[in-house]
Each structure stands twice: as C-alpha cells, then as structure tokens.
Amino acid sequence: MYCNTESLWYSQWRLRILGKKFRDYDPNQLILLPPGLNEWLPDGHLANFVSDVVDHIDISIITKQYEQELRGFPPYHPAMLLKILVYAYCTGMYSSRKIAKACQDVVAFRVLSANQFPDFRTISDFRKRHLVTFKELFLEVLKIAQHAGMVKLGHVSLDGSKIRANASKHKAMSYERMKQQEQRLRQEIAELTQQAERTDHSEDKKYGNTMGDELPEELARRETRLAKIQEAMSSLEKEAKERVEQQQQKDEQQDKKDDDNGPTNQTGARKRGRPRKESHLAGVPEDKAQRNFTDPESRIMKSKDGFIQAYNVQAVVDEEYQIIVATDVIDHTNDHGVLRTMVEMTAENTKATMHKISCDAGYFAEDDVTWLQEKEIDPYIATGRQKHNEVPESPRGRIPKHYTIKQRMTRKLKTKKGRAVYARRKAIVEPVYGQIKGCRRFDQFSLRSLEKVRGEWSLVTMCHNLLKIFKYGHINWATC
C-alpha cells in the first residue's frame, strides 16, 4: 500500500513540475447539442444516404396500408421505420431487439428515428407486414443503380448459396421414423384413453356424476404430437406424388423426342442405354425423406459447415459493380432448373438483355444452353468439376460435327477465351456472398416459411445494392 501511495504522489508531483495538462473531463457538464439532427453526423455518412434514398423512392405501397385504418393511436411514420430497418441491415444488425436498443444508444439510429424510440415488437411487426413490399423496393433501388450507370449486363454471373433457416436440423424427422412414431403414439393414446375411461368409471361409482371431462394433459400432448407427424407425412406424400407426375411428363416428352428423331444406330434399332428408373412406389416418399417441424419448408442441405437446415438463395450479379439484378430463394438443394427463371427475371427487372452469363456445373442442362443461344445470350456454364490448379490444353481445329451440346460447351471452356470469361465468375458473384455472409454476418434468416424468407432476402440484397451505390455511385436526385 505504501508503494502504491508513493507512486501516485510521485506521478502527481512530476506532472506539476513538468506542467503537463489534460483535456477537461467533467461527466456532469451540460452541453449544447446542434439545433438540427443532421448535424450530429458528418457529411457523407451512410445514415444520411439511406435517409435520402428512402425519401426519393416511392413508398406509397407501404403508406396505403395505414391510410385505411383510422382507429387507435397514430402509428410511427413508415418512412422512419423503413430507414432504421434498412440502415440496420446495411450495418449487419438483424435483431429487432438490438435495433430498438440502437435507437436509444447509437447516434445514427437516433438521427434516422428523429429521437423516437419504437419498441422491438413494432419493428418486428413492420418487417413481417411488408415482406412483399421489399421485393418492390429492391426494384426501386435497382433503378437507381441503373440511372447511375452501374448496370451494364455485359457479363452477369449466377450462383446460389445455402443460408441457415430459423430452425434446428434436430427438429427434423425422416418419413420412416414418422411411421414408427405414428404407430407408437396411436398405441399410447389408445392406452391412455382406456386408462382414462377406467378411471372415470371407477370415480363415477364412487363420487357420482362430476365435471371431470377435461382431456388429460399427457393425452393432449401426445395427440398434438401425432397431429404434427400426420401433417408432415401428408406433405411428404403430396410432394412424392408431384415428383412422380413431373417425371412421367418428362418421360413422355423424351419418348416423343425419341420417336421424332427415329433410329439412332446403323442397324435401325434404337440406341441402347441404361433402363429408365421406375417411379418410387407410385408416389410413396422414400424412408429417408425428412420434414422439419419448426419450419417445414426448409430443408437439410450440405454446405461448407456440414449439413444444415437451410434455404438455397439465388442471385444474378452484374460484372461492372457487383450489383444484384435478380434474386430468389428455393427450397431444394441443387440449382438445376433455376437458370431460365433467373434469366427471365433479370430481363424483367432491368428491361434489358444480357450478353454473357457464367454459371457453375450445377446449372448445366442442354435444353437451357440451347434456350440461351436462341435468345442470343452467350453461355459459359461448366459441365463438371475441374481439379485445383489444373490447366486444360486448349483445343485446336474445327469443332467436330458429331459433338453434343455438352461436349461443345466443355470444349468452349477449354479455349483461352472460354477460360478467361469463366474465370471472371469467381470475381463477380462469389464476393457478393462473401460480403453478405462474412462482412455483414447475415448467415441465418430471422423468419420462417419460404414466402417470408424470400421477402427478407429481397431486403438483404436491396441493402447490398444500396451499399454499392453509396460507395461507387454518383446520384443526381434532381433527375432520379
């Protein structure tokens, strides 16, 4: 204690001798704040940019929903709630409770909310209520990017990524286990029902007629569990039947195509091949088919972190400034069959036609390649995986006439031009997912069900485009 006191005395004496001064520090001192909220932030702050964007885009689709309700206390202005929600997603804050707390603690949020403090339930309900609207706002922001000259569509890239659902994979159950649980629960419910009847009968003899007609708690819990399992089994059976019908349609189309093409070998007989797989038990789900009880529309998908309960998000990204021009969310693991939808969505969103598109092997289909070429879009789609650091030999000479569409695409990607164009794919679309999932930490949805997840993903991608415009764009609001 003596040494500490001596050291403190010595340091104070030394400061007096040297004449060292510190800045004034008085936590109880009264200060004069700027008269305008905007003066709390420096010029060029992201919050001011978000406020300008929301003020200039058309949000009447949101305000109209409030104009029809005249009862109750006046609600918070939708523009204010939209500003703090967009700014929160731009800065990697997705919890409604954290956003509500930031409206009190963080200067930027206080500026956007004009010193109003909406609670977390108000923010959460606002987000849920306007999920469909976020898709329209995504298009509004995309128009701003186009007006700023940030969308060229010279080369776009399509890719997907797995993002965790708001559900645990441990809450999923396979169809085989559902059947076992259904049988077990039925037996337990029957035993509990018989036990309840015996108890009621003995009590009636002893006490006479009593109310005692409530369902036993244990029986109610099992019946609720059984109802959920039966609902999940019905959904799996319905999906299985739909897959069988779709497969039958594809088989019929293929048979018709084979008939039109005629014999395929020199003897006049049809080309031999592996026999077509029969539909699985006429639409009965496979035993390994699973359903999640928390979010039934999410699926167990393989990712870099192993198997997770997730959704498969899609994004078409323009090369020039990494602006997302089209986006969607699907509930199946593979990307097959998504290409046409995303290309058509890009054309609809931008009112323009792309020149080149690059995708990984998950999107390859011969029919889609032909469809793209008919639309005068140059496709660069991988046909398989390439080993790391493998440099394929560039092909020479003319393309053999007997090459299939897949062989032609494989040869195209081995050329110098093909390798150079396809190599750009990693620099166009993959950094976008890195910025969303890594930098802004959006690695799990806050909402459940496919439709709600699509709305939240539209909000996330809209904020990504806003940040690109904020960083690179030069906006003239007078002409927007």
| Of residues 91 and 389, more confidently modeled | 91
Domain 152-168+299-472 coded CATH 3.30.420? yes
With beta carbons less than 8 A apart as the criterion, state whether 163 and 444 touch: yes
- Among candidate residues 54, 44, 100, the one with its CA nearest the CA of residue 462: 54
User: What are the residue boundaries of the structural domains of the chain, listed by start?
Assistant: 37-129, 152-168+299-472, 170-256+280-292
Highest mean pLDDT among 60-69, 153-162, 234-243: 153-162
- The proportion of the chain whose per-residue pLDDT surpasses 90, expressed as a percent, equals 49
Q: Averaged over 320-344, what is the pLDDT?
A: 94
Rounded distance between C-alpha atoms, residue 65 and residue 437, angstroms: 32
Residue 1 banded pLDDT, cuts 50, 70, 90: very low
Residue 304 banded pLDDT, cuts 50, 70, 90: confident
Query: For 156-293, where are the alpha helices, taking DSSP H only?
Result: 175-207, 217-261
Q: How far is CA 13 from CA 23, 48, 268, in A?
A: 18, 49, 109
- Among candidate residues 331, 364, 360, 318, the one with its CA nearest the CA of residue 448: 331
Rounded distance between C-alpha atoms, residue 167 and residue 151, angstroms: 36
Q: Which residue has the tokens 């997603």?
A: 89
pLDDT at 221 over 70: no
H/E stretch holding 265 reads none
Rounded distance between C-alpha atoms, residue 33 and residue 107, angstroms: 12
Q: What is the 3-state secondary structure (H, E, C) of 10-55?
A: HHHHHHHHHCCCCCCCCCCCCCCCCCCHHHHCCCCCHHHHHHHHHH
- The proportion of the chain whose per-residue pLDDT surpasses 70, expressed as a percent, equals 67
What six digits make up the tokens of 5?
A: 């006191």
pLDDT at 448 over 80: yes
Stated length of the chain: 480
Residue 267 banded pLDDT, cuts 50, 70, 90: very low
- 480, HSE (Cβ side, Cα atoms, 13 Å): 22
Rounded distance between C-alpha atoms, residue 167 and residue 294, angstroms: 6
User: Would the CA dihedral through 74, 79, 85, 91 be positive or negative?
Assistant: negative
With beta carbons less than 8 A apart as the criterion, state whether 168 and 294 touch: yes
Rounded distance between C-alpha atoms, residue 110 and residue 36, angstroms: 12
- Among candidate residues 54, 53, 70, 51, the one with its CA nearest the CA of residue 62: 54
Q: Averaged over 227-241, what is the pLDDT?
A: 63
How much is the pTM? Answer: 0.76
pLDDT at 155 over 60: yes
